[in-house]
Every structure is written in structure tokens, then in C-alpha cells.
A and B are shown apart, each in its own frame.
Chain A
Amino acid sequence: MPKQILMSREVLLTGAIALLLAIIATRFPAFITPSNLANVFNDTAPLILLAIGQMIVILTRCIDLSVAANLALTGMVVSMINVAMPGLPVPIIILVAVGFGALLGMVNGILVWKLEIPPIVVTLGTMTIFRGTIFLLSEGKWINAHEFSDPFKAFPRAELLGLPLMSWIAIAAVIFFSIVMSRTTLGRAFYAAGGNPHAATYAGIDVGRTQFWAFTISGALAGLTGYLWVSRFAVAFVDLAGGFELSVVAACVIGGVAIMGGIGTVVGAMLGALFLGIISNALPVVNISPFWQLAISGGAIIIAVALNAQANREKGRIILKRAEHAT
């Protein structure tokens, strides 16, 4: 039954995206040409990558507010490595980015797991620390386009079968994590730990350790996105992707991830990200003022949360009936 609900929620969201595209097309037909849609997808790739990580974290009843700061710090670190060692091959750079990002995620995870600090406090703290660290490393200076090596900048733009690698990486991540979430014991543990932490504990799942791995994955994806971001825009600075963590959380919520944990899919997170990506790409070209752009995004979030709350309330009724029963 939840499968059906989730499926219908994803179908619903796909429908909403189609409707959105149709409305945009009446004002600006060129928006829905395949090449433009591919561009929009490519633009949204960072949001998709981060939303997948965030989805897993939210699934375990946590939240990761440090993703954008992690992205910026890892971006700065790989940029400085590139400036210092221009000859270092891009695959190594990517490994460093993923590893360094994962390390930052592990810091969050350890604090949540071992010290049992609420995740919102932990990641609010590390978010500030990561930004501060960028400032210390860069002394507040920007790294600009001419300072990067050419292969470093070229990688995300390189095309394969007509799509930039940036897009392929997002697609690969969606497929990879869909498999992880549905076909591995770790994926099952994420759902169980968030769905009912007590029951998960009794079933032999270490909830704290599961949350640690969720933060690690979120960090690794943020690190990967950090490299892709600085190389695509060919710039690294302290406030890179400032405030982006809120769009990431919003994408998850729109994508049907229950903020109370236990419910959500990778495809849902991707659709949520695409919905936001289309709004932010389309509204400027159809001459809608930035105010409406924000209001529409905000409205989408509230509608999504209201729908989620409705679905959860039905569950609550069952639990209440049982609780009354037990007295």
C-alpha cells in the first residue's frame, strides 16, 4: 500500500511538473524544446545530487543544514589543490572531493551518533564552521577562472551522447542510490531507523550508526557537487552556494520525503529538485518577477507538506486506535 501511495505521489509530482511545463509553454514555447530541457536538467544536477543525500538524512529523522557549506569548503579545497598542482588528474580530484566531503559528513554523523546532539544543532554549527574554514583557507580571496587548469574546468561540460557529464553524474547517482535504498541492507536500515527507531533497535539495527552513514553519504555527495560546482562556474569563494541548503530541503519536501522520517524515495527527491529547477529557470524567461518566483516555490513547499501531513495523519489514526486499545 505505501508503495502505491508513494508511486501515486511520484506520479502526481510528475503530473505537476508536466502541467508546469505546459503553462510555461503557452507563454514561451521554446522552453520545452529538448535541448532547453536538457539545459534545465543540467542546471538542476547539483540540486538533485544534494537532494539525494538530504533525502537519506531526513529519512533517518535527521536534517543536514551543512550541505551547502560542505559543498563550498570542498570546492575551495579542490580549487586550491588544482591551483597548487595543476597537473593532478581530474579523477583524483573527484576522489579527493568525494572523500573530503564524506569526512565532513562524518563529523556531523559522529556528533549526532556518539554525543547525541540534535542534528539541527550539529549541522547549524558545522555549517558555520565550514564557512569559517573557507575564509581561513582562502583569506577571503576568490579563486577565478584563469587560475584553474583547463581539464579541471572542462570535465563537467564534456559531452557524452549529447549530454554533459554533469547530467550523467546526476543520472548515475539517481540510479545508484535507488539501488542502494531498495536492494541493500543499509538502505533498508535507513527506512527502518527513521520509520520506527525503537522497533529498529529491537530488530538489531544500530540507529545512531545508521544516521552516521546517512550523514556520510550526504557529505560525500556534497563534496562531489562541490567540485562540479566550482569547475562548472570556474570560481570558488566563501559564500559559494550560500543558502542553497534550504533549496535542498525544499526539494526533498516537495519530493514527498516525510520530514518526520521513514518515508521517501530517491526518484521523489529528484522530481522535487526538478520542480524547483524548472521554476527557477522558467519564471525569469516568462517575465515573472523574482517575488512571484519565490512565492511559487514557497507555495509548492507548503502544498507538499500539507499533502504529506495528510498522508501521515491517516497513519496516526491507526496508531491512536491501538494506543487506546492498549489502555
Chain B
Amino acid sequence: MLMKAEKKSEPASAENDMPVLTLNGVTKTFPGVTALSEVSLELFPGKVTALVGENGAGKSTVVKILTGIYQPNGGQIEIDGSPIRFPTAQDAGDAGVTAIHQETVLFDELSVAENVFLGHAPRGRFGLIDTSVMMDRAREILEGIGANIEPRTKLKDLGIANKHLVAIARALSIDARVVIMDEPTAALSQKEIEELYELVEELKTQGKAILFISHKFDEIFRIADSYTVFRDGALVGNGAIADVTEAELVKMMVGREVSQIFPNREHNTGDEILVVEGYEHPTEFADISFTLRRGEILGFYGLVGAGRSEFMQSLFGITRPSAGEVTIDGEREIIRSPADAVGKGIVYVPEDRGRQGAIAALPIFQNVTLPSLGRTSKNGFLKLAEEFKLAREYTERLDLRAASLDTDVGNLSGGNQQKVVIAKWLATQPKVIILDEPTKGIDIGSKAAVHEFMAELAAEGLAVIMVSSEIPEVLGMSDRVIVMREGRIAAELSGDDMAPETLVRHAAGI
């Protein structure tokens, strides 16, 4: 797939053929996971390089390496051709690399000028911060980028677009040579996006090298000069944007064998178990309607922030929808709270299992029985023997190996903690199980086990909703796929329509 690799020097024109920043065969591994495998990247002054890839392709890992938050395990970073290391974020800033994040990492309670100059404020006598110089310079920089913002304003009083401008002003104030923009337009309106494009042009004329991370193909083709595509932590292609088409980019992003690692499933689905009609929330999602059958795995695909988790949390009773109806097993129901949802047969295994899944300070059996205490207690008194029985039944079913059910969950390995969380939900004997990113951040072997297990659950007649941002997983596991975009259902796909390109097109709105 390295079909464009030979063209990688092309974006460099005659007057600036020396990259300001180079990644040379950089590798980053975490225990059990390779996040980046020998990737290379070149950024040229006055040029915009678009970094493209699926969720989990390694884009944010690159950003974290370039800004000194992660240290690479192999390869090297070069500035102006000489190797450099960024042990801390400060070192990256000193070398002239700055990042503007999707969610701005600024300080709401400080003024605009303080945000711009935090950490490198102009000093006056006795080493004190020279406020008036700071205000003047902040105003100067802001005017330079066409931002009409009073530097004394507190940051929290600004809108999201102006916060981005402050972040950009901050980048300019430290005289950055490399500006990384991580999905900068994700939260902006069309008008604000246009203004951002103008600003990017302005930064280009100032000779900054820009790394532009985006899911939106229209803007990639509009402002980027060159592209780099990552897939599964590896470089799959790069070159000049003029030499590539949208379809080719999509193919590079997703192209791979899909079927091999997934269990073969018989798509035997039963009666309708869950019907959702017109679910709405004032700010997060609108007009969500679908049906789910026994024994079915329904995939929910979308970009991060498409409103999938928000909708699932609402279906599970954590937030209340403003409109919409749910029918479970033929009965019209109103879900008032998570306890209510569990009682009615819907369980939700959240994405952030560390934070939302297990209770580290409680033993295994207490974690497993927590949502089922209604069945293992009488008049508010716990029946310990029944708790142990229930916990033993479901941990054995998941093949959880631990010395004793009395073992604290905090002392288990990550994989075993996951098993405790799943055992906990299965013990409630649900009708519908919602799995939010069930394999995020776990190694290939564990992924296969989770997939196998999902197939088993479906075969037993449980209806499974799987929220996933990994295309192979969505396509390999699901009977049907719902694609969400900006809080709405963009498409419902089944059969031959379930192709990687189709998913990406619907999710990105192209």
C-alpha cells in the first residue's frame, strides 16, 4: 500500500526543500500494544501537511510524541536535520513545536493575555510579570491574526472559536515554527471555519510548518499541501494532495483484510426485543430510531463526538431524553435511572472501564453482585452465600482466574478486571447489552476473545449493541450497522452495503 511513498519529497519546492521537523522511523509501544510502528513524517516551512487515519491509527500518539508528552521507544525526531529529544512539554515548546488541541487546553479563569503568555510572560523589575507589556504584546499578536479580542477578558467569557484564536496566539507568542492543529474545526461553525482557514493561510505565509489533523476530506483538500496516511500505527502512504483523490485516501485509511480475525457467526436473529423511536436530547442527539432483535449484533459507527455514547447513556437512564419512546419486549417503557434500565433488562458496559467499570477497593464478588443486589438480598440485608454463588457462576463462565472471589479488583490485571465488569453485567441476566468500545486499548489476543464472547452472547439470544470506532470490528461483528454523524443517524447499513468506504463516507458526511 506504500504506493505514494516515492513521491514524498514532492511537496518541497525549490526554496524550502529542507524539512523543519522530521520523524524518522518512530516507534511507540505500550504494554501489549504497538501504537506507532516506525512511522516517518516530514513537515516543511510554509506548508500544511494533513495527517489522516481512522480512530486508533496513531494520530494522537504522534501529537503526544511531538509535544513531549510521550517518549518514543525507537526512531528519532529531527529539527532542521539534527536529532533532538523532547523529555518534557516545555522542551517541545522551546524547540518551537506547539499544538492547538481539539478541546482547547487553556485556563478559563485567567485573562486572554495570561493564557497567551503563561510560562513565558514578559518580566519587569524584580522578576515580576510586566502586565502592561504583556497586555500590549498580546493585543499586537491578536490583531496580527485578525482577532478582535480584548486581552483583559477572562477566557471563560469567550466562545469556542475565539478560544481557538487565543490558542493560536499562544502558539505565535512562543515563536513556534511547527504548529500542530488537532481537529481544529470539530467544534466550529461554518463561518468560524472559514476564518480559521484564512488564519492557516496567514501562518503559511509566515513560514510556519503546519500539521493538520482532520477527518473532514473537504477541508483537507482545501488547505493541505501534502498528506500522510496512518493505519494501525503504521505509515501507509504520503505525497502531494494534488496527486490524490478522496477515494484513494479513504482506501488507504481503511483498506485491509477484514474477515480473517472475526468469529464466523450465523446471522440467526429472533423477535424484536428493543424498539427506539424518535429519541432526542436538546444538545447531544436528535431523531434516533431503530429496532433490535434477539441474537442480533447491531454496530454503531461514527466519528468521535458523533453522539453515540451520549445516546447510549440516555437509553440507559443516565441522562433523560427530551423526547422519544422505548419499547422493550413489546412493552412501552420509560427508563428513569440506570437501576430502572437494569431492572428492565438493559445494561451498559461503558467505554472508560477504569473510571466507570470496576470498583478497585471492593473484592471481586462484591463488584459482580453490585447491580444484582436486589436478587441477593432480602429486605435490605445481604445474603452473602447467594452473592458468592452468583459471583462464582459468572466468573467461572468467563474463565476468570483469581485466587479467591475475596480478592480486591484493584489487584487484578487489566484483562481480568474487564472480565469482572462483564461478569457483573451478565449476572443481571439482561435482554439487551450495550458494549461501548469493547476492545479499545486491548491487545489483539484479548480482542479476539472479546469478539468470540460477543458472538456467544448473541448465539444465546442476547441482543447486543456494539459502539465501536474501529471499522474492521464493526464490519466483522455486526449484523447491521447504524452510522451516526453530528448526533443523528446518517445511515443504516446491512448486507453488501456494509463496506469500509461507505461507513467512512456516511460518518464524515461526504
Contact = CB atoms under 8 A, between A and B. Distances in A.
Tell me, yes or no, whether A binds B.
yes
Interface in A304-327: 315, 318-319, 321-327
A3 B406 contact: yes
B305 interface: no
A187 B92 CA distance: 50
Given A203-B424, A204-B338, A192 B359 contact: yes
Given A1-B408, A3-B363, A202-B348, A184 B380 contact: yes
Contact of B354 (A3, A205, A319): A319
B250 interface: no
Contacts of A34: none
Nearest to A186: B380
A183 B441 contact: no
Contacts of B214: none
A327 B382 contact: no
Contacts of B414: 321-322, 325
Contacts, number: 126
Interface in B104-134: none
Given A184-B381, A315-B360, A203 B338 contact: yes
Interface in A103-137: none
Interface string B349-364: 0101011111111110
Contacts of B359: 191-192, 195-196, 199-200, 262
A161 to B, nearest CB: 29
A320 to B, nearest CB: 9
Contacts of A204: 337-343, 371
Contacts of B352: 198, 326
B361 A200 contact: no
Interface string B366-400: 10001101000100111010000000000000000
Given A1-B408, A325-B414, A318 B360 contact: yes
A213 to B, nearest CB: 11
Interface in A206-243: 206
B263 to A, nearest CB: 24
B440 A326 contact: yes
B61 interface: yes
A183 B382 contact: yes
Interface stretch (B30-38, B186-194, B480-488, B489-497): B30-38
A192 B372 CA distance: 13
A35 interface: no
B317 to A, nearest CB: 9
A8 B441 CA distance: 36
A263 interface: yes
Contact of A183 (B30, B348, B381, B411): B381
B337 A322 contact: no
Q: Which bucket holds chain A's interface residue count?
A: 20 to 34
A244 B411 CA distance: 37
Interface string B32-61: 110100000000000000000000000011
A185 interface: yes
Contacts of A263: 361
Contacts of B348: 202
A192 B338 CA distance: 15
Contact of A196 (B316, B339, B360): B360
B407 interface: yes
B459 interface: no
Q: Which bucket holds chain B's interface residue count?
A: 35 or more
B473 to A, nearest CB: 16
B339 A195 contact: no
B417 interface: yes
Nearest to A187: B382
Contacts of A144: none
B318 interface: yes
B29 to A, nearest CB: 11
A327 B441 contact: yes
Nearest to A182: B382
A27 interface: no
B362 A326 contact: no
B410 interface: yes
B441 A325 contact: yes
Contact of B370 (A183, A192, A315, A319): A192
A91 interface: no
A75 B33 CA distance: 62
A327 B373 contact: no
A192 B424 CA distance: 14
B465 to A, nearest CB: 15
B380 A2 contact: no
Contacts of A192: 359, 362, 366, 370
Contacts of B362: 2, 191-192, 195
A191 B361 contact: yes
A201 interface: yes
A141 interface: no
Contact of B337 (A2, A183, A191, A206): A206
A319 to B, nearest CB: 6
A206 B363 contact: no
B382 A1 contact: no
A327 B343 CA distance: 33
Given A185-B382, A321-B31, A325-B31, A203 B361 contact: no
Contacts of A185: 373, 377, 380-382
Interface in B161-188: none
A74 B126 CA distance: 56
A196 B350 CA distance: 14
A175 to B, nearest CB: 15
Contacts of A183: 381-382, 384
Contacts of B424: 203
Interface in B254-271: none
Contacts of B377: 184-185
Interface of A: 1-3, 183-186, 188, 191-192, 195-196, 198-206, 258, 262-263, 315, 318-319, 321-327
Closest 7 CB pairs of A and B: A204-B339, A326-B441, A195-B359, A198-B356, A1-B408, A2-B408, A203-B371
Given A202-B371, A321-B31, A324-B31, 10 more contacts: A192-B366, A198-B350, A200-B359, A200-B370, A202-B338, A203-B338, A204-B340, A204-B342, A319-B354, A326-B354
Interface of B: 30-33, 35, 60-61, 316, 318, 337-343, 348, 350, 352, 354-363, 366, 370-371, 373, 377, 380-382, 384, 406-408, 410-411, 414, 417, 424, 440-442
25 contacts: A2-B362, A2-B410, A183-B381, A185-B380, A185-B381, A188-B382, A191-B362, A192-B366, A196-B361, A202-B338, A202-B350, A203-B338, A203-B342, A204-B338, A204-B341, A204-B343, A205-B370, A262-B361, A263-B361, A318-B411, A324-B30, A324-B31, A325-B414, A325-B441, A327-B441
